[in-house]
Amino acid sequence: MAGSEKEPTNNITSEDTSLMSEEPQELIKDIEEPLDEERILKPEETQVSTQVSSDPEYAAESERISSPEETGQTINNNVNGNKDTPKEIDIIDQQNEIVSEDVDSESSEQHFTSPPPDVDTESDEHTENIQDNESEEQIKVEDQLDQVKPENQGPPPTPITDQPQSSPEKIPESERDTRSLDTGQQTKDDLGLVGPKTNRQERLASAPPRLCTDEMCQVDTILQDLWQCAVAVGTDIPLTECQTDTSVVDTAICDTVFEEHSYIKQNSLNLIWSFGINKDSPVYALHIDNRRLILYASSHTAVMNNFSITRQHLLQGHSSLISCIAVCGNRRWVATADQSPESLVIVWDTFSGIPVQTLFDCHHEGGVGALAMSHDAKYLATIGTGTIQRVCIWDWSSENKGSLCSVDLSPAFDPQTFIAFNPEDNTELVSNNKTEVVFYSWKANQLEFASPILTDETFNKVVGIYCQSVFHLIPSQVLTGTSAGNLVIWDTVGTTHSQFDAMKLYKKKPLKLVNLQNDGITVVEVMDRYIVTGDVKGCIRFYDEEICLLNWYSNLHLGPIHSISFSSQPASKANEKSSYPSESTIKAQQFVVRNFVVSTVDATVAHVTGDGCKLEMLMQEHSAALHAIACHPSLPLICMGSYCGLLKVWDYENKEPVCSRLFGTGNFIQCVTYNKAGSLLGVGLTDGCVYILDALSLNNERSEPFQYAKDAITDIAFSHDSRYLATVDSKTTVTVFHFHNNSWMYLGRQNAHFKPIKTLMFGIYLDDNQPRLLSLGEDRVLVEYDLKNSTEVDLRILSSERIEQSATPMCMAWYPPITKESFIITANDQYKLKLYNATTNMCRKTVLGPIYESPLKKIKILPFSSTNEPKVGYLAYITDNKVGLQTLPLDGNPHKSCALICHGSVVTNIACSYDGGYIFTAGGDDCTVHMWKVDLGAHEAVIALGGEDLIPFYGLLEGGRDGELFKEMENYFYYSQLRYQHISTRETRKVSTHVPLQEIPFIMRALGFYPTEKEVEDMLNEVKFSKYVETGKYVTHIDLGDFIKLYINHRPAFGISASDLEKTFDILGYQNEKEEKAIALEELLQLLQTRGECMSEEEVAETLSTLLGLNPEGGSSEFDVKDASKLLEQQLPQEMTNEVFVYEVLGFPRNIPVSPCDEVMTMTAAPST
């Protein structure tokens, strides 16, 4: 071990000694009392001159080379690294004292001013100046506080090299600014960090500057603030004038983020808790005192989880999956980044939980793949994931929008997955992937890099795959761990330390390949005087700077280590009462180490206490895709199941796990459900197995699971009386089990769909309270099964009806009892919500659904919390990546719906709590579940702001109420009355505010919306039966307001696009000689007359003639079919291509933009002919 450095000596006068001995409490007391000029502490009275005594011991450092053989010999020393017997501290091992140095000694070492040439003379002059002009004295004091630099700096540790190293020279003054921690100036920079940037003065030779304790809450920082206030009081400046307008970030302390007011949200849906963790992102310890506070990523949200008080603070700002997290040395500032075309890098203040800076579009192609923050939090480094990787350095605290410097890596480089700053020099960085290590150096806004080559032939050893790289405790050296258990030592090309500053430090070469162990290394960290490694077997080892093993933790029973993060709080001193383990050295001193947090690749997070070697499991989450979630029908419990085979039940109010069960490797849980009583839990696996479990113990209700399917169980449901259990497998087959003679038995299977089933649900017959089972598939067919008459091995179908014409159903649910009629609500891929009569399956209402980039995937009716008869209901839904809330009854008002991004990639499932107060969403591959609190008050307030009656619908019309479309609607509405009363009539006309229902199709077509006959029937039935339940009469007329709602709700959400027609030709057409998709004219005419809603020959001829302009007047009164047929043969080619049909016959505009929303052609006005 390296020798210890002599204690520095300080030349301090008696006056200075009296000042340094003054306790903080006395200074505070002085400030509270009226101060006079004599009691004000002047800069001259705080001047201390410090000198470092030279030690001949470091004139020439001895050579020290740790070979693999030596390291292996140390490893084989099987010393128990978890002994609790306290050992006596050896006084020559002073490194342990450095990390636990008292705050009082720190404050006595650091002073903020340097002595002027003549102290006594200047002191008298300044006393007179204070009496004459106290304001000028305040300015002088502040100027002198910014001009101090320490002069003491300890020698570096002994490097591991093949050549003897000479002692390093003193760093030139001109280059001190490039080293972030080499200056001792006490300043408050743009980040709000107050504290010295110097290395600790009493540092040992083997202890680098990163040993210094955190500057977050030091006493000398408080003294500086008190000093400024004292000067203000002494100069008769009111304290209120000294206090400037401060933000929450300036006034926040470590507990501010977890205060109650920080959880106040005003959205309809508020994210309040996140279950799960992004296992590919590191976990960081944000410990302050003894709090168990950690930071990790959960889908697109960063989570600050305080396990001491069971509370989370969620850092929300990303819309995509968080790919990287970085922290500074004192953990006050953290940065998060995501991977998306519109990637963001957000810097957060962990004290207040507020984002203080956002970098937009850092890397346009693919987002951020690696992120690092400098030790002093001043700079950020990012690496893009584009085809050509770009490395950028950002000064995020400045007002400059661009990066300070950047460089593009070679296209031959594989994606870099890790990057880190040198804690001692912000101008040095290192990054690596599995096969390459890249070193960087930047200065004067120029970033240079080099990637040395290391192969198995370099040292005649297997190198392995790189995991992480860190800067060594020894200057200029970098360490990289590999999957072969090796540690690669890189060093700058050169021979002497004196040349380091003049050389390009990024030009390094592999110096040694040290084999530490047989198991692959996954993590390499440097903390205090230790080099720390984690491996694939969950073992954590500690080495000194000479790569000698000091201690290890092998009995943690963890999986492969993914990250290790040490507390920012220094370890306490070793004494007789401490229980640190012993080092695996001859002296067997106590192994003093900070508390740290370990995360594994299987989503486990553990906290290890250094004093006593206590292991506490903080999180044991799902490590594979999580799709299965279900809420208990009467208790605040939620069950989650994932592809790792873990089934876990949480108490979501107390945020505590209730029970769990591991089904074993290969048992992937796909879906779960509770029965209505909450006593049973049905579980479906991807291998076709169906388990019926006790809901509390998770034990099997049946000795063996059902397995009548070979494919995954995609949906599962209990009947209301718990007598039936139905599942969907193979995506198209329904299997039913029934409870008979106190046991569950197989009833039958039925393949009633030819496309995947989207929803399977049980209902109740209104007349006899018997269960009914329905399924809805992508084949647009609604199937009802005859449970009553089904026998064993014979599941019968009661009815099968096609409910959609062109749209694909996505999901369905039972409409809540807010009307006198029973409905089934469905959502399709054309952004429509439809209500079907539960008895007749007649479509009774169609409304425009929520439009958020993708159609609704699943819907759930929010349970009612009150027992009164409800008049308003709420529908929870999910799209591809959003969760939303829709107010019922449906009317098409867009303000009655809201949605938020709920997961970074996709959301796969949704569940609602039994009281309707919470909504849960599962993120699938991101292995997380998010808990959303429903705020109906905020939701109703948003609806009220949208306006009443027709005001929300006017906004959906092009141009609004003052636009051309609305004026044309009024004109056509009254023209239809003339048409209904006949154009040539001579009777007195009656002008009304209503038109007959028969005129609805003609007005729709005049406005450019051409509904099919089925759509016309649905529109007429919707209006006709709208009041039948209340009045028993049909509606025969419609007014303008209802017609506007009908038009908006039934017209296509995005019109008809040219791409839709191109897909039709791809399916029906053939490829001609010009490699174009085409259909023979004869075949096209035959398809129009025989498929779909068949058109007659006259209708086909009339329509095509009108489209080609051969029938200018339109209509059929003067139309001759025979003449039209001859004209069509002349005008239309015998081979109809897609381009001719779309652009020449139908008249779509050419050169359509690429955007799907822009390429849509919506006919909203009447044709010009």
- For residue 911, name the pLDDT band (cuts at 50, 70, 90): very high
Express each pLDDT in 721-735 by its tens digit: 999 999 999 889 999
The share of the chain scoring above pLDDT 90, in percent, equals 52
- pLDDT over 70, % of the chain: 73
With beta carbons less than 8 A apart as the criterion, state whether 596 and 614 touch.
no
Residue 451 CA, distance from chain mean position: 32
Give yes or no for residue 201 having a pLDDT over 60: no
Region of 643 on the Ramachandran plot (φ > 0 left; ψ -120 to 50 alpha; else beta): alpha
pLDDT band of 1113, cuts 50, 70, 90:
low
Identify the band that residue 253 occupies on the pLDDT scale cut at 50, 70 and 90: confident
Which residues have a Cβ under 8 Å from the Cβ of 880 and sit 6 or more positions away? 853, 854, 857, 906, 907
Distance of CA 559 to CAs 197, 485, 562, 612, 663, Å?
Answer: 38, 16, 9, 22, 18
The count of residues in the chain is 1169
Residue 616 Cα distances to 570, 590, 663, angstroms: 19, 22, 24
505 vs 565: which has the higher pLDDT:
565
Task: Give the C-alpha separation, 971 to 1003, whole Å.
Answer: 10
Contact present, 623 and 601 (Cβ < 8 Å): yes
Whether 335 shows a pLDDT value over 60: the answer reads yes
User: Which of 733, 731, 807, 822 is CA-nearest to residue 772?
Assistant: 822
Beta-bridge mates of residue 370 = 383
Q: What is the mean pLDDT of residues 412-416?
A: 91
The yes-or-no verdict on residue 142 having pLDDT over 50 is: no
Residue 181: pLDDT band by 50, 70, 90 thresholds?
very low
Burial of 809 (0-12, 13-18, 19+ CB in 10 A): buried
The pLDDT confidence band at residue 29, using thresholds 50, 70 and 90, is very low
DSSP SS3 for 1065: helix
DSSP string, 125-152: HHHHHHHH-HHHHHHHHHHHHTS-----
What the block records as the tokens of 1140 is: 């001719």
Q: What distance in Å separates the CA atoms of residue 665 and residue 912, rounded to the nearest whole number?
A: 30
**Quick one: average pLDDT of 1003-1030?**
92
Dist. CA 551–CA 554, nearest whole Å: 10
Q: Quickly tell me which residue has 């192609």 as its tokens.
A: 365
Helices (H) and strands (E) in the chain, counts: 22, 66
In tens, the pLDDT along 942-990 reads: 999 999 999 999 999 999 999 999 999 999 988 888 887 776 667 777 7
Write down the pLDDT at residue 61.
35
Specify the higher pLDDT residue, 139 or 819: 819
Q: Which amino acid is at 92?
A: I
Other C-beta atoms lying within 10 Å of the C-beta of residue 1080: 15
Task: Please say whether the beta carbons of 165 and 497 come within 8 A.
Answer: yes
How confident is the model over 857-881, as pLDDT tens digits?
999 999 986 656 678 999 999 999 9
Q: Is the pLDDT of residue 7 over 80?
A: no
Would you say residue 526 has pLDDT above 90?
Answer: yes
pLDDT at residue 869 in the model: 65
Confidence at residue 1066, expressed as pLDDT on a 0 to 100 scale: 87
Closest Cα to residue 927, out of 655, 597, 629, 651?
629
685-729: pLDDT as tens digits? 999 999 999 999 999 999 899 999 989 999 999 999 999 999 999
DSSP-derived secondary structure letter, 1145: I
Sequence-ordered alpha helix ranges (H) in 235-313: 239-242, 248-251
Look at residue 1139 in the predicted model and tell me its pLDDT.
86
Average pLDDT over residues 241-257: 72
d(CA 939, CA 313): 23
How far is the C-alpha of 142 from the C-alpha of 28, rounded, in Å? 20
Instruction: Supply the mean pLDDT for the chain.
Output: 78
The reply to whether omega before 889 is within 30° of 0 (cis) is yes
Helices (H), 882-1033: 936-945, 951-954, 964-980, 1000-1006, 1013-1024, 1028-1031
pLDDT at 43: 37
Instruction: Please determine, for residue 178, whether its predicted confidence score (pLDDT) is greater than 80.
Output: no
pLDDT for 595-645, tens place per residue?
A: 999 999 999 999 999 888 889 999 999 999 999 999 999 999 999 999 999
Mean pLDDT of 639-654: 96
Per-residue pLDDT band for 814 (boundaries 50, 70, 90) equals very high
Residues 881, 921: Cα–Cα separation, whole Å: 10
Position with higher pLDDT, 24 vs 297: 297
Report pLDDT for 206. Answer: 34
Q: Reply yes or no on whether the pLDDT at 856 is more than 70.
A: yes
Quick: pLDDT tens for 768-781.
889 999 999 999 99
How far is 333 from 322, CA to CA, in rounded Å? Answer: 17
| Residue 242 scores a pLDDT above 60 | no
Cα–Cα distance measured from residue 41 to residue 24, given in angstroms and rounded to the nearest whole number = 13
Chain centroid to Cα 259, Å, comes to 23
What pLDDT digit, counting tens, does each position of 283-323 carry?
A: 999 876 667 899 999 999 999 999 989 999 999 999 999 99
Closest-CA residue to 112 (of 143, 153, 139) = 143
Q: What is the residue-wise DSSP string for 648-660?
A: EEEETTTTEEEEE
